[in-house]
Chain A
């Protein structure tokens, strides 16, 4: 057992607790604790990814209780990749927030690490009920973060988000009860065997549970009929909070991928949920694209871009081939980091446009239009999938992964969505930067240091393109691990169920 696997959980937890004690001690100390812990998480994630890249799957039995009885943490290539992406997003977002967003309300530096704890825990756990608990941790932190800075728009969006997610949590528990009632276990590796050998009596209950789980994770991921909470929430939240939320939908995508590839496999006795994924994903892309076209503000457009990216990711996963999943895993870091960067940038743009904010209406010219415009161009190119950026490579990998039967739909939707997205972003950029009236608002200039976190995330698009070969190879190996879950089951259960 290697204790490093606990670092992504313990560091944020301890940081959150320390900051809770220091609420009245002033922001400087809290910022220090948050940044040190998040940097520690990044370091741990790099070390864990380097170790997972070798291909062996590490488990950590909490409390020393062996696998199907106790709760295990499991580190495979997918978990390590998700941890790394989370940490790479969290550190710049936190640095950006320390420039002022954390002053808009109380307890930012308590909530931020706790949110990180929930996200990291969801990626590491090997137990379905523990996944529920980590989901609740990340949700309660996200409820408060969404309200950070207060204001009627945030309250309205958060109320809808909270109510929907409470219903989602209830459905999650119903699904867990059904799974436990049918199989008598909630360990994911153990469930894989139990579902594969389920009797017809168990199958009916498990089918209901698998579809309920798809609905619950679909709500978190913002898949088509369950995505109505997202645009309002993301466009109302503070820029740094919205940027951090870029990882939240990916937690849902991860949970779908993990449960469907391990437990309710497309080749197993319960392929229904896996089969639904591709049509739902493509419909999500279409809806998100329509939202981009109708967006009235930059933030609203970015929120719909998040929905499109979720659809694209799930489309890759829904192909259920090693190539499709590998493409989705290559696309995942790209879309998370770049959309996070664009959310951070939208805050700078809105501040320089004064009263009109980031709405797509003629406004005062930006005082630093060149600087912000270049950054916007960089991000827009990456997110729309133009060549030299990683979005282009991700989409090419995805399209290459389709078989002839799927190609017609996937190519049409993904390519048309990309083209319309590009057009909408071009319109958005020209209105924000060129259609100006009046004089520019003095003040609110942003230094290069202030812009650095956003730029770092936007440049990740280029970095992922430069590093395309190693990243794509890692994604391919991770997909191979997911397609053949025997190694995972073997690693968790050891010699088999006692």
Chain B
């Protein structure tokens, strides 16, 4: 399970990094979303992978760590808001600058 989890984070990060480095805002926004998915998974996994364990400390036997779940919830909410903001900003930049390049300069003829 660890290998699969690590692979998921790695693939998402690699795709996200590739897309963030693109010139056009649509790809960059997609890349930012993929990066935030990767980060959320990574944060979630930082509490170790356990199945079927109660999320409480102090019980007998193994328990799931509840803190990363709280952290990841916060991170998801913040990431969601920020993605919404960057989408609106990208649309506005498309309108105001006349092109959808991240540097706002457009294609060099």
Contact = CB atoms under 8 A, between A and B. Distances in A.
Interface of A: 129, 133, 136, 140, 143, 147, 150-152, 155-156, 158-160, 162-163, 166-167, 169-170, 173-174, 176-178, 180-181, 184
Given A173-B43, A180-B67, 13 more contacts: A133-B74, A140-B81, A140-B82, A156-B97, A159-B25, A160-B103, A163-B32, A163-B86, A166-B82, A174-B39, A177-B42, A180-B68, A181-B46
Contacts of B68: 177, 180
Given A163-B28, A173-B39, A180 B104 contact: no
Nearest to B83: A166
B85 A155 contact: no
Given A170-B35, A180-B46, A152 B97 contact: yes
Contacts of B71: 129, 176, 180
Interface residues of B, number: 36
Contacts of A160: 102-103
B54 interface: no
B47 A169 contact: no
A140 B85 contact: yes
Of A152, A170, A174, A180, the most chain B CB neighbours within 10 A belong to A170
Contact of B89 (A133, A151, A155, A177): A155
Contacts of A174: 39, 42
A134 B20 CA distance: 25
Contacts of B103: 156, 160
30 contacts: A129-B71, A133-B74, A136-B78, A140-B81, A140-B82, A140-B85, A143-B89, A151-B96, A152-B96, A152-B97, A152-B104, A155-B89, A155-B97, A159-B104, A160-B102, A162-B85, A162-B89, A163-B32, A166-B36, A166-B86, A167-B32, A170-B35, A170-B39, A173-B40, A173-B43, A173-B75, A176-B43, A177-B68, A180-B46, A181-B45
B20 A163 contact: yes
Nearest to A171: B39
A155 to B, nearest CB: 5
Contact of A177 (B43, B82, B102): B43
Contacts of A170: 32, 35-36, 38-39
B32 A155 contact: no
A178 B35 contact: no
B102 A167 contact: no
B85 to A, nearest CB: 6
Max chain B Cβ within 10 angstroms of own Cβ: one of A152, A155, A177, A178: A177
B7 to A, nearest CB: 16
Contacts of A147: 89
Interface string B29-67: 000100110111011011110000000000000000101
Contacts of B82: 136, 140, 166, 169
Ordered nearest first, which 9 A-B pairs have the shortest CB separation?
A: A156-B104, A181-B46, A177-B46, A177-B43, A173-B39, A170-B35, A180-B46, A177-B42, A170-B39
Nearest to B65: A184
B89 A166 contact: no
A155 B75 contact: no
Contact of A163 (B43, B78, B102): B102
Given A158-B89, A166-B32, A180 B47 contact: yes
B46 A178 contact: yes
A410 B79 CA distance: 40
Contacts of B8: none
